[in-house]
Structure 1
Amino acid sequence: MNLLFRTGLALGLWTLALSAWAQGEERFSTWTFGAQKTQRGGPCDVYMFKSNDHAEKVVDNILRSAGMGFGKRNFQVVECPRTDNCYATIINGVRYIVYDNSFLKLVEDRTHTDWAAISIMAHEIGHHILGHTSDGMGSRPDKELQADYFSGFVVHNLGGSLEEAQIAIRVLQGEEGDASHPPRRDRLATIEKGWREADSFYPRLVKNSSSPTPPPAPEIVKNEPKPEPPKTETRTGCIDGNCDDGEGVYINRKTLERYEGEWQESRPHGFGIQFYANGKKKYEGEFANGKFDGNGTLWLSNGNIYTGDFKTGTVHGKGVLLYANGDRYMGEFRNGQRHGQGKYVYAGGRQEVVYYVNDARRKAE
């Protein structure tokens, strides 16, 4: 099942949809790594963008799985860049699901599955369907558990396992609860209840499992030497397509790194994906004249992941750096270094505003 949000990077420019953000709106289930809290303000105080087609399909599938795909939605779905969030809200009487595509990509990278992002979106849709956004009271533990139940029910019907339904809460939320959100153990139990309730209504002929049992290895005749694998040489250069002006696949002769994507004047130009020699993804996004340029995601060899702006092959502009230990820096970069104001979010949930000059931390000006 391919419901990934990460394809939004390849879909091009977003279309301006709204020009003002209403005052005093209530938000539900603001997601952060390790902790959850209600936030106000941010880039979408000024504007929001239409959702991409892929996210729209995910929402349609969620509604159909809950038996609600027959009529017009009672909410709109909008992309709101750099909010590091996904939440349900009402603005001027209109219901919205607001999400940051880069945030959902980070969720997928952190959990190693797209089911985490799908379950989060299902949870937020549940708030609207269950009427939680109508009373003006904001998030409460009982509302969050009801939305968790809905999410577990939906993930089952979309084909996800119980483990996949729970992975977002299991990995991203801390153990303790607060005034608006219940503790992790209660949320996991409620998601399981929703998943099993769906399973009782719609049992599967073959149970889905995120860890299938491998088939037994074939028997080997004793004392019979194993044949040596044939020696093969890796093809290099342009191995498929048009690597001059078009779309093609190219393997670097020295590094054996592979590029798949668009070309112009014999250089990567447009959208493309670059892979390390071991086959793991290195970069996905926009290129110009053979270099990372525009918006993209870079997977560093040390385990860190950067998503944001690039200029002539270097991190430059605004972006999010997810460290291998779970910490994040969200803010400004210049020539590959943190430079300017940003926000540092620790894996445990603590946040602080920070200011950097050439990657050295300074007091805010």
Structure 2
Amino acid sequence: MDLLILGIESSCDETGVALVRSAGGAVPALLAHALHSQVAMHRDYGGVVPELASRDHIRHVLPLMTQVLRESGESLSNVDVLAYTRGPGLAGALLVGAGVACALGAALDRPVLGVHHLEGHLLSPFLSAAPPEFPFVALLVSGGHTQLMRVDGVGRYGLLGETIDDAAGEAFDKCAKLMGLSYPGGPALSRLAEHGSATAFKLPRPMLHSGDLDFSFAGLKTAVLTQARKLGDSLEAHKADLAASTEAAIADVLVSKTLAALGQTGIGRVVVAGGVGANRRLRSQLDAACAERGLRVHYPELHLCTDNGAMIALAAAMRLQAGQQEASRDYAFDVRPRWPLR
């Protein structure tokens, strides 16, 4: 069955809209997508302000939808299903996308489908030039989540390990703040790290030898704080080295745990998704380690690593294809700010 699916993402600080065409059992095709980032607006506050984020989604979601329809050459009346991020995320922000999708669904008499944000990230590499095949191990790394999942098919997920405190993206952002870097800290730290030495400072690799697949990054944050205080007035001169050493510590743990997950499951393929999946050091180390072991690595396209509407439309399309869920004409929506992916 040929379906045109409009996806809306509004879980945090990016507003995304996209159109995906699903035809039979083929991998859905991305027709167009548009994204607005709120980074500049939140920079003055050093982090995301939920109320401001919600209002900004309201301002941009309809103009982005108009842009996507224009670029795809489609009209709103041609849309068969409206998909939106149901959770997890900021409650107010989620309500914007859910409200718009359900209002349009009611007006057009089209069914709607609420999508799990992390499932969108997990499936996003299927929009790449070399999509993965099931089964695979997924490393989900973002500002709010660090998880290893076994993925046997759409909707068939098993949790292998997750962070017990800070996520990898949080560790990047918090360590960057300790170094006095501007918001958003993670990308700023990674850019600075390119000019430093990854071996300049001996930082811990928390839970590297724990024997399980869980993560912890809070101790690394404390170690970076301690080192920054030791440097004192000389921090500025050593900031690039401290950034590189921090990035290396995070990447080492992520790569080591991912390889352990592949070994435990016997699966020869890994998918890396989420904003931290764009990190160059992480990609380089994981590519080299997997190539040495004859394993395959798949990533989303770089422009689809952050939150976006394409991954939401794709996840909806793949769930419908797999018979995992049906779109509904029940427009009494709700959102799930805390929603584990199981």
Q: TM-score, normalised by structure 1?
A: 0.24
User: More strand per residue: 1 or 2?
Assistant: 1
Q: TM-score, normalised by structure 2?
A: 0.26
User: More helix per residue: 1 or 2?
Assistant: 2
Structure label with greater radius of gyration:
1
